[in-house]
Amino acid sequence: MNLRNLLFALAVCLSLASYSVHAVTCTNPNVDYTDHGDGTVTHVPTGLMWKRCSEGQSWNGSTCTGTASTYTWAQALTLAGASSFAGQSDWRLPNIKELHSLVEECNAPGTINSSVFPFTPSSYYLSASPILRVNAVWGVDFYGGNDVSSPRGSVNITYVRLVRGGQSFDNLGISGTPASVKFTSESLADGTYQVGAATKAWTFANGATALTGLKAVPVIGKTDAGLGIIAAEILVGNVAANASFTVSLPIVPTHAGAALKASYWKLVDGTGADVKISNSSTGQFWLKLRTNTAPVFSALQLDSVGAKAGQAVSLPILTRDGDGDALTVTASAGSVLNGLWSGSFATPGVQPVTITVSDGIETTSKIIYVVVRDAVGTARSFTDVAPDSLATACDPVGNPGGLGLASDYADIEYLYLRGVVMGVTNGAGRKFEPCRYATQAEALKMLMEAARNATGLVFDEPLRPLNNLVVEDPAAGIFVNDSWAVPYVLKAETLGIIPAADTFAPEARATRAWLARAVTRLQSLIVPIDAFAGAATTYQFPDQASFANAQDYNDALATAFFGYMGTLASAFNPANAMTRADVARVASRMLRAPRADDVVLVGTTPASVAGRSFPSVMQGANFQVSGMVNLVSDRILSVAGIVKEDWISTPASHVKASVIKVGQGVVVNGANILVQALTAAPVTVDTATPLVNVSEIRNLLVLLEDVDSGVRAVVRKDYAVLLPDRDGDGVRDSLDLWPDNPLFSTDANGNGI
């Protein structure tokens, strides 16, 4: 191996060996750069202007795009000489000291400020500094931040970043003889938040020459208002050789004005001459303080919402400000009122909306995404769910990404149309993963969004952080962030679906028993036992012993009776885990449950009982149930793979009804009939029994059942049965010897008087 290759190999080995040893202090934070807005920045400590993008990349106004190119040393020198950018034509290849000044040691590996120099490859960058004796050139490895040597021949191909301007680099601390004073430490580090009285102190170490009459003076024109600086100069006095000294500056920063305030100072001796600071390229030192806390978005802020084209949709905007400033929230589309963003889009697709919050001093922005679906229909929204799938069964363990069953396609697309389902986006497109076991967090979202659509469920619980939704265990390779589920988990706690939000395990599997509990509480399911008309033996599961408790068993019975999951008189299998497709099927049925505002009665008159008005009849008289008020029934239409939502213009032709007298074990009409049949042949309800001694309120239930899905719902109607009492003496007419005289009621002694 010749000397050149030996030196190159040694440099690379030393570079690799040093990757694990890095300082943790950020040597080049954002505040050390001045952004010119044209793809260039000036590095304040050195005064050098740099191109923000590596050669081969392009500046688009906000970041670097494209892929950085690689060059030989000769190509790089030629490229630099011909470069013209941002109105400047004196760009050049930096020398090794200049290039090394960009090293950001706190970021290793990847030792450059990626905010200032976006998409910088963590690799070797060429300098203009040759190593003559071995025909090599110095460079910097921005993976570990080390200086490395490389052969100058065409085989060496590395990245390039150009610089312009220049000055002495004796003061960078890389090499050279130290000057007489060196900055060593400070209080109130750059960027510290400070409002109110404080003291900024800088500590320096003197060199080998004693100083007399030393003082600090502000740099003219480089002090922002609002720092509360009164001192025109700070007297230090005489400083012995090699001694340390401190410059202390009293300040009273105020909250008003600029968010970031700075003041620059320099040292002068008794003759008025500037004193050089060896590790400051400008010979200055400064304080840079933050006097405002920028507004931020809550960690609980959701960043997406679904809607149909033309449909109004809203999303709560959660912001806070550490200073307590009044906040103003605006949106690039739609509007924000009282913390709620609202808007609608006519064009399907993913519509980005920029939400900006301002405290009057600073602004913070966040993009939310509105997923807009076609108002007419949707098809093949997920790459792993298809109407023509040949899959015959799901294997959640062995085939979590397998193609979903064709039977699940309509339900999943229908939920997507209604803005309910979840999905996973990767390089292969958007996937639903129907055959993967559903976590409880995923199931909560689908079920609660369905309830929000169907019944107007409101997420109004006070938000609070739930640390149990985020699990980070590097040793076990576990990184889970379910913080998006906070609103759903807090609502589940309120509804009694889960015992406590703070102990909820979001990644636990959603079992059949768990899902039954959630559906029962979300839909407020109460089974009318009278519907069985004495055949209660059919209202059971043969595997009752498999349930953990009686409540889980009753919840499962309710979901089976109302048609959401399970079949009465058949095994329910409460411990079995549900797949995402299973949950989608249940959520789809929640959306399609028939509903009505009221029951239409014929033959009643309004009467006041117990201070309330009820439709009423005298006992012994009959009335009829002839229909439903505002009956609604949604169904899924699927034509050639396109899934549509149909509100059904004539829902009475699509919903069956059973009329039940509560508490009497009687089904007035034993067989379900279509609601439309009630108009032509109303169901008669008799009131003869039981006898009443006072007017009373009775309940009537109408059990509705969707023809397609079999999902049921109950509409309750209260009515009054009035006591026949013409004279109002409280005695039934049939038992009153004087029914028209309130002065007489009963013959207590039986003497006929």
pLDDT in tens, 300-327: 677 777 777 887 888 888 898 989 999 9
Among 159-168, 578-587, 737-746, the range of highest mean pLDDT: 578-587
Indicate if the pLDDT at residue 640 is higher than 90. no
**Could you report the per-residue pLDDT of 56-100, keeping only the tens digit for each?**
999 998 899 998 998 888 888 888 888 889 888 888 888 888 888
More confident: 404 or 199: 199
Max CA-CA distance within the chain?
142
Indicate if the pLDDT at residue 226 is higher than 80. yes
Q: Please classify residue 215 by burial: count the beta carbons closer than 10 Å to its beta carbon, then call 0-12 exposed, 13-18 middle and 19+ buried.
A: middle
Angle between helices 580-592 and 406-417 (to 10 degrees): 60
* 45 neighbors 31 (Cβ within 8 angstroms): no
Mean pLDDT across 416-425: 77
pLDDT score, position 77: 83
pLDDT score, position 19: 33
pLDDT score, position 512: 97
Mean pLDDT across 289-304: 85
**Could you report the per-residue pLDDT of 117-152, keeping only the tens digit for each?**
999 988 888 888 877 656 678 888 888 778 777 665
| Beta pairing class for 304-308 and 363-373 | parallel
Q: How far apart are CA 584 and CA 590, in angstroms?
A: 10
pLDDT score, position 606: 94
* 297 neighbors 319 (Cβ within 8 angstroms): yes
Indicate if the pLDDT at residue 745 is higher than 80. no
pLDDT band at 295 (very low <50, low <70, confident <90, very high): very high
Indicate if the pLDDT at residue 18 is higher than 60. no
Among residues of the chain, what percentage have pLDDT more than 90?
Answer: 37
**Could you report the per-residue pLDDT of 329-367, keeping only the tens digit for each?**
999 999 999 888 999 998 887 889 999 999 999 999 999
Query: Left, alpha or beta for 188 (phi > 0: left; psi -120 to 50: alpha)?
Result: left
- Please, what is the end-to-end C-alpha distance for the chain in angstroms? 138
Q: Which residues pair with 616 in a beta bridge?
A: 605, 720
What's the mean pLDDT when you consider all of the chain? 83
Q: Which of 184-198, 441-455, 680-694 has the lowest mean pLDDT?
A: 680-694
Helix (H) or strand (E) run with residue 248 in it: strand 244-251
Indicate if the pLDDT at residue 528 is higher than 50. yes
Q: Which of 88-102, 220-234, 614-628 has the lowest mean pLDDT?
A: 88-102
pLDDT score, position 55: 93
Q: How far apart are CA 518 and CA 578, in angstroms?
A: 13
Indicate if the pLDDT at residue 27 is higher than 80. no
Mean pLDDT across 5-12: 38
Indicate if the pLDDT at residue 20 is higher than 80. no
pLDDT band at 598 (very low <50, low <70, confident <90, very high): very high
| Beta pairing class for 48-51 and 40-43 | antiparallel
Count how many Cα atoms sit within 13 Å of the Cα of residue 67 in the half-sphere of its side chain: 2
DSSP state of 522: H
Query: Left, alpha or beta for 226 (phi > 0: left; psi -120 to 50: alpha)?
Result: left
Q: What does residue 187 show for φ and ψ, rounded to 5 degrees?
A: -95, 165
pLDDT score, position 151: 65
Mean pLDDT across 235-245: 93
Count how many Cα atoms sit within 13 Å of the Cα of residue 422 in the half-sphere of its side chain: 23
Helix (H) or strand (E) run with residue 452 in it: helix 440-455
Indicate if the pLDDT at residue 11 is higher than 50. no
- Which residue type sits at 447? L
Q: Is the pTM of this model over 0.85?
A: no
- What the block records as the tokens of 115 is 């905010």
Indicate if the pLDDT at residue 191 is higher than 60. yes
- Which residue type sits at 71? Y
* 408 neighbors 581 (Cβ within 8 angstroms): yes
Task: Of 316, 318, 320, 317, give the one whose Cα is nearest residue 295.
Answer: 320
Mean pLDDT across 491-497: 95
pLDDT score, position 582: 93
